[in-house]
Amino acid sequence: MTVSKTKEIVDLKVKLRSGASVVRVRPLFSHDSKFLIIASGSDVKVHSIQSGECVHILRYHKTRVISLQENKTNHLQVFSCSDDGFVVRWDHSEGKLLQVYNLHMPASSFYIPSGDNTWFVTKKVENQDQYRLYSLISKPKRSENVQMIVSPVLPYENAIAFGSEGKFVASIHENSLTVVKLDVKVVAK
């Protein structure tokens, strides 16, 4: 008895569909608590709380998203910032890109503490192993009035905190806590 086996060669291509960290960046709940907004690599994913399903994948960034911030003046919008310094304003309920901002600097962390147009960015100092916190005025496609606020700082989102009205910033670095009053820039250590 002779058994003839023919082998068919199949060319398969493997594509990575997921796998980016979803815990590296602090997630956001929508104002009405219907959605959970998560950074995943260079994408922002919007999940329904009720079903757990991913309802929108927001794509624009070319590099890793480092921060998600709620828009304090419009609860249907969020900001995402990638480490190459691009900030995108999204309508998370409809999954639409609304506006793109260019910080013209790489970013390690990004903050919008209040509803005004002052943003804060942590950036690495060139040729040094040190980071600084900068403030800037947001404008579409560019940033203006960049001012150094605190140096040195840690490049992590949880190493910097803002007061409830955005008038104070606190930063930890090694064994010291620095508190700065933003309107007059008074430093207390």
pLDDT for res 16: 45
User: What is the per-residue pLDDT across 51-95, written as a single tens digit (0 to 9) for each?
Assistant: 999 999 999 999 999 999 999 899 999 999 999 999 999 999 999
How far is Cα 34 from Cα 46, in angstroms, rounded to an integer? 10
Would you list the domain boundaries of the chain? 28-157
Closest CA to 63 of 29, 47, 87, 45: 87
Per cent of the chain over pLDDT 90 is 63
**Cβ atoms of residues 44 and 80 within 8 Å:** yes
pLDDT of residue 185: 54
pLDDT, residue 6, reads 67
0.85 exceeded by pTM? no
Q: CA dist 65 to 41, 62, 139, 168, Å?
A: 6, 9, 20, 26
Architecture of domain 28-157: 7 Propeller (2.130)
